[in-house]
Structure 1
Amino acid sequence: MRKASRLFEIIQILRIADEPVTAARIARTLGVTARSIYRDIGALQAMNVPIQGGRGIGYMLRAGFDLPPLMFSIEETEAIVLALALLERTGDAALEQSAKRISQKIAAAVPPPLRQALAADTLHAWGAAARTGSGIDLAVVRAAIRDERKLAIAYRDEQGRRTERTIRPIALIYYPEAANIVAWCELREDLRHFRADRVESGAPVEVFFKGEGDALRRRWVSSWAVDRSVAETGAA
């Protein structure tokens, strides 16, 4: 998580808390060390964000401090809540946790009547979660897409054949049956889709493809028209 995003998240965590929150607890939520949180809180205090407390007792945000609000209608808010509920069907654990935090922030920000309506649990998204397997964390894939960083994966295709590949991930598609990683495959020298539940292992490598992601995505999108044309004409 980039520092700017982390500072914003710390403010939000403290904003919705009803008791002091320790640096260790914030660190666990954001996936960083407590030492980083101490530095971040010091930086926020230097920017005149009214954070009170200290090591060992926890931190709180002084009443009255707030960020500029986003104003949504009740229908818009319900659309967001339902979209967040649908994230549970992606099988992406990190996105599910982010959805819960967003729901808490929405509940803390909206007026009391709307907060009561959201708390009534009137919106639900049921259905089986997409299969992701345990070979790769989709949060790692999303970070690699953002950072334009290559991944080394071990992949087993539908015939059971196993290959070792280096890929340049450019997109994730969350189908009902499984999440698909869209990537340039250096083994095949072409764009390929990899079902996440067939990735047996995967990790980022210290090699980047900076500046190539947008061009690869444009190439991928342009292939959609070709695929549709083939389907319509019945060509093989």
Structure 2
Amino acid sequence: MRRADRLFQLVQLIRGRRLSTAEFLAQRLEVSARTVYRDVAALQQQGVPIEGEAGVGYRMRAGFDLPPLMFTKDEAQALVAAVRLAQPQLDRALGAQAEGALSKILAVLPPAARAAAESLPIYAPLGGMTPQMSERMVQLREATESRHKLRLQYLDLNEVPTERVVRPLACFFWGPVWTMAAWCELRSDFRSFRVDRIQALALLDERFRDEPGKTLADMNRAMAEREAASN
């Protein structure tokens, strides 16, 4: 990779995250941490408002932007493939936004790149989500983003109904089903709920904040530790 391309990609990585360590950046760029330190210093000398320091992490000062990017033919094809594969499994609102974003990207591509992207022979069957499921996914996504607690009426795999209050953390797609990862206040632990087994849900007025031991990062860490222990 040319140094100019690496510096450009480095800016994109830093501006796309709240905080990026040199180790993370080095891994993504396939260079040493020392090279990252030198590149960041060079960018700072050129006036790019990167804040932070070695050993702590880097972030981009608010308000910094770059001119619009132009995608290559392969990148445009990858975007088309991603939207086509994901759209049938997204709720109706999010799927429409994805299609609109893709249309804007295709509209500014050179004719040859646009033709190659639109003719990509990769498709996914429609009908992956029912209207009821789509509405339920919108509710879960909005509650997760606004950090509102939810009251669920849930039917477990043994057909036993339960009611519980949860903190929604994220939704995961596993191929045939969607699940919602949450902190369950009834069990005082992390739980995953199949979205198609949620019988009813209510958005509560109460919001939640990150608390040690109850975040998505904590859940992912606990899962990794359990997997490592089982091996």
**Structure 2 unpaired stretches of 5+:** 1-65
Counterpart of 1:85, as a letter, is: R
Alignment of 1:97 with 2:99, yes or no, is: no
Question: Residue 130 of structure 1 contacts residue 177 of structure 1 at CA under 8 Å; is this kept in 2?
Answer: no
Counterpart of 1:159, as a letter, is: N
Which moves more between the two structures, 87-96 or 118-127? 118-127
Using CA pairs below 8 Å that are at least 6 residues apart, which structure has the higher relative contact order?
A: 1
| Equivalent residues in 2 for 1:153-232, closer than 5 Å | 153-212=152-211, 216-232=215-231
How far apart are 1:215 and its partner, in Å?
5.2
What corresponds to 1:52 in structure 2?
none
Question: Residue 181 of structure 1 contacts residue 194 of structure 1 at CA under 8 Å; is this kept in 2?
Answer: yes
The verdict on how the C-alpha distance between 1:72 and 1:227 changes in structure 2, with shifts beyond 3 A counting, is same
Question: Residue 151 of structure 1 contacts residue 204 of structure 1 at CA under 8 Å; is this kept in 2?
Answer: yes
What corresponds to 2:107 in structure 1?
108
How far apart are 1:198 and its partner, in Å?
0.3
Question: Residue 81 of structure 2 contacts residue 122 of structure 2 at CA under 8 Å; is this kept in 1?
Answer: yes
Structure 2 CA distance for aligned equivalents of residues 221 and 132 of structure 1: 30
Counterpart of 1:117, as a letter, is: A
Structure 2 CA distance for aligned equivalents of residues 113 and 133 of structure 1: 40
For residues 141-162 of structure 1, give each alpha carbon's deviation from its aligned partner in whole angstroms, at most 9, with x where no partner exists.
1222222111111110011111
Question: Residue 86 of structure 1 contacts residue 125 of structure 1 at CA under 8 Å; is this kept in 2?
Answer: yes
- Identity in percent: 31
What corresponds to 1:129 in structure 2?
128
How far apart are 1:200 and its partner, in Å?
0.9
How far apart are 1:174 and its partner, in Å?
0.6
For residues 10-36 of structure 1, give each alpha carbon's deviation from its aligned partner in whole angstroms, at most 9, with x where no partner exists.
xxxxxxxxxxxxxxxxxxxxxxxxxxx
Counterpart of 2:146, as a letter, is: D
How far apart are 1:133 and its partner, in Å?
5.8
The 3-state SS of whatever aligns with 1:207 is strand
For residues 122-178 of structure 1, give each alpha carbon's deviation from its aligned partner in whole angstroms, at most 9, with x where no partner exists.
332358837896496212212222221111111100111111111101111111011
For residues 210-232 of structure 1, give each alpha carbon's deviation from its aligned partner in whole angstroms, at most 9, with x where no partner exists.
23499511210111223213432
What corresponds to 1:81 in structure 2?
80
Question: Residue 87 of structure 1 contacts residue 95 of structure 1 at CA under 8 Å; is this kept in 2?
Answer: no
What corresponds to 2:30 in structure 1?
none
- Paired residues, what number? 166
Which moves more between the two structures, 79-88 or 132-141? 132-141
Question: Residue 89 of structure 1 contacts residue 129 of structure 1 at CA under 8 Å; is this kept in 2?
Answer: yes
Question: Residue 80 of structure 2 contacts residue 118 of structure 2 at CA under 8 Å; is this kept in 1?
Answer: no
Structure 2 CA distance for aligned equivalents of residues 139 and 153 of structure 1: 15
Counterpart of 2:168, as a letter, is: P
Counterpart of 2:158, as a letter, is: Q
* Normalised TM-score (structure 1): 0.62
The 3-state SS of whatever aligns with 1:182 is strand
**Structure 1 unpaired stretches of 5+:** 1-66
| Equivalent residues in 2 for 1:13-92, closer than 5 Å | 68-92=67-91
The 3-state SS of whatever aligns with 1:137 is helix
CA RMSD of aligned residues (A): 2.7
Question: Residue 148 of structure 1 contacts residue 208 of structure 1 at CA under 8 Å; is this kept in 2?
Answer: yes
Structure 1 CA distance for aligned equivalents of residues 143 and 89 of structure 2: 18
* Normalised TM-score (structure 2): 0.63
Counterpart of 1:190, as a letter, is: D
